[in-house]
Structure 1
Amino acid sequence: MAILPLALALSAPPVAAQDDAMTAIAIPDQPTAIPLGTGTLPGATAGESWHMQYGSRFARNVVEATLTPFLPDPAKASGAAVIVAPGGGFRTLSMDNEGWDVARALAERGVAAFVLKYRLNQTPAELEVFANWRPEPRPASATPPSPEEAWAQMVANMAPQLADSQAAFALVRARAAEWGVDPDRIGMIGFSAGARLAMSTQEAVADARPAFLGNIYGPMNAQNVSADAPPLFIALAVDDPLFPNTGFGLVESWRDAGRPVEFHYYEQGGHGFGMYDKTTTSTGWFEAFTAWLRMHGFIAREG
């Protein structure tokens, strides 16, 4: 796979997107954000900071997780809910394009949405340094790990994020009556690294158990699929620079287990298209996703 500049690799925008330069901004007010109580990121030395890029806001060095509710008008609420996990390579979070904008659009369609600002791996505190920074590569192992060993290592590396995801599900279920949510109809959608978190949540966190899953330009590797795995929606672009020629193991895993899966493979869109307004058909992923939710009964049919 070609190595991309860090800014592109973390959450690549539309080709014709706005300015790709990172500009520091103040941490925006988030008056409805609810602390998840999972603690401060162990070993953190850099505090949370934000920047603008591609016309969107990004969070970095998140050390304490929060969950922000976006609730629908009670007149159109379906009772379904979804945890929204933005992407950014576990180093940033695309809070507008893959978080708040998604949640607002879901709430407009009657789905209660909760944006998970999960804890992130530490990066240089100075934005100018971060813009050109690359983490140290992990040393190559003489003996490739077994699939079981690789999975265990991945889960260990994601321990803070998985704890945040687990706490998000617990909070929504605890306040389900207050928020008009059916505790058995809470799903999760993730973008890029957030999609990895969503897929790992359903496999590694027993008491989360999403009612449905959305994997938007996330990893496509095969996964263990239980007999009661939730319905899965996948959207990916052919020209995604992060997942070229990786096959469709994830789709095949769900299909082979006899579980519901829908896969949209767009000719163009790159990586990180999210809610950006583009001329490519990948922009249609959100309408396809909500139509899929409607097909499965998570959104009431119109008329």
Structure 2
Amino acid sequence: MTLPLRPIKVLFSLSVLIFSLVTFANAQDGTVIHVWPDKVPGETAPKHPAVVTDNNSGNVTRLTDVTDPTLKVFLPDASVNNGAAVIVCPGGGYRILAIDKEGHEVAEWLTTLGYTAFVLEYRVPEKQDGALNDIQRAIRIVRSGASDWKVDPDKIGVIGFSAGGSLAARAGTMYSEDSYSPEDAIDKVSSKPNFAMLIYPAYLDKGENRSLTPELKIDDNTPPMFLFATADDTHANSALVMATALRDKKVPVSLHLLPKGGHGYGLRPGNPAGETWPSLAEKWLKEIIK
């Protein structure tokens, strides 16, 4: 017996919904979630796993050629889970992703503080529009599945490093702009992060005379932000102009500028900046999510 066309469509939609719910419910530490279950918006290359580059200098694993963006789940121990989540955006100049140094290691640190962390493999190289699609969709995925991860949907933030700091800033200031066409019920959920942490951010000063990058629209509804940089970082002006713009709009902002530390240190020991920002961020987070 052949079913009419309408019931087939209904059954298909239900099966997709059930599959999504099962995926969320069964998420374990280390689970990898594909940000786009079907076609990736604006992507012409076929989906495939990210490519690990030959450059592992500084003991850093670098990924490139990301065509199938993913979220990797890092769960805190139930005894310390504080009900908040953070999406981690590694840096790499929008060319590569320093996936361990500015991704997995940061997520593992966050779980020790009680946060559920998600490392985002966003599209590179040179796919800034696609990266914005990816972070907006990622926030919506986490918010949609918040109850399954024992997360408060109003306590979901982002942290980014270098280019990842640029992406986190874009997520925190461009959430009212849908950067892609809605695909399913997940896209009806807000993509606005509740807070953002920008660690040695880059590319935020592309305006005239090194002023704030024009696409970053700051208003009274912009979420609170934590910014950290060092004076000897060539990208340090990004943190300064962002902090000024936030202050001018009376958005809560915490800015820390150390004399030395350079750029790209993550939270590994041996660098004064890398050893300083985590404790400052930890204290700030406690105030934000209380």
TM normalised by structure 1 equals 0.72
Q: CA RMSD in A?
A: 2.2
Matched, 1:166 2:136: yes
Indicate which of 189, 195, 199 corresponds to 1:216. Answer: 199
Q: Is the 8 A contact 1:162 1:205 kept in 2?
A: no
Q: 1:43: Cα distance to partner? A: 3.5
Q: Percent identity?
A: 34
Q: Is the 8 A contact 1:268 1:282 kept in 2?
A: no
1:202-256 deviation digits (Å, cap 9, x = unpaired): 2223231111001111134334321121110001111113x26668221111111
The SS at the match of 2:201 is coil
Q: How many residues are paired up?
A: 234
Is 1:277 the counterpart of 2:269? The answer is: yes
Alignment of 1:124-273 (within 5 A): 158-206=128-176, 207-219=190-202, 220-221=204-205, 222=212, 223-241=216-234, 243=235, 248-273=240-265
Partners of 1:203 and 1:295 lie apart in 2 by: 21
Q: Quick one: which of 49, 52, 57 aligns to 1:50?
A: 52
Kindly provide the amino acid, as one letter, of the partner of residue 173 in structure 2: E
Structure 1 residue ranges, 4+ long, deviating more than 4 angstroms after superposition: 244-247
* Cα deviation digits, residues 145-182 of structure 1 (max 9, x gap): xxxxxxxxxxxx62211111111111111211110100
Instruction: Give, in angstroms, the shift of residue 114 of structure 1.
Output: 0.5
Aligned AA for 1:231?
A: P
CA offset at residue 80 of structure 1? 0.7
Q: Using CA pairs below 8 Å that are at least 6 residues apart, which structure has the higher relative contact order?
A: 1
Query: Are residue 67 (structure 1) and residue 71 (structure 2) matched?
Result: yes
Q: Residue 246 and residue 230 in structure 1: after superposition, are their counterparts in 2 closer, same or farther (change >3 A)?
A: closer
Instruction: Give the equivalent residue in structure 2 for 1:290.
Output: 282
- Which residue in the other structure is 2:181 paired with? none
- The Cα shift of 1:279 comes to 3.9
Shift of 1:286: 1.0
Letter in 2 for 1:42: E
Mapped partners of 1:225, 1:183: distance in 2: 22
What TM-score, normalized by structure 2, do the two folds share? 0.75
What's the offset of the Cα at 1:99?
0.4
1:53 deviation in Å?
2.4
Which residue of 2 is the match for residue 129 of structure 1? none
> Do structure 1's residue 36 and structure 2's residue 35 form an aligned pair?
yes
Residue aligned with 1:250, SS: helix
CA distance in 2, matches of 1:215, 1:290: 13
> What SS does the aligned partner of 2:61 have?
strand
- The AA in structure 2 aligned to 1:210 is P
Decide whether the 8 Å contact of 1:266 with 1:282 is kept in 2: no
Question: What SS does the corresponding residue of 1:286 show, helix, strand or coil?
Answer: helix
Question: Residue type matched to 1:32 in 2?
Answer: T
Find 2:102's aligned residue among 88, 98, 107.
98
Structure 1, unpaired ranges of 5+: 1-29, 123-156, 299-303
Which residue matches 1:137? none
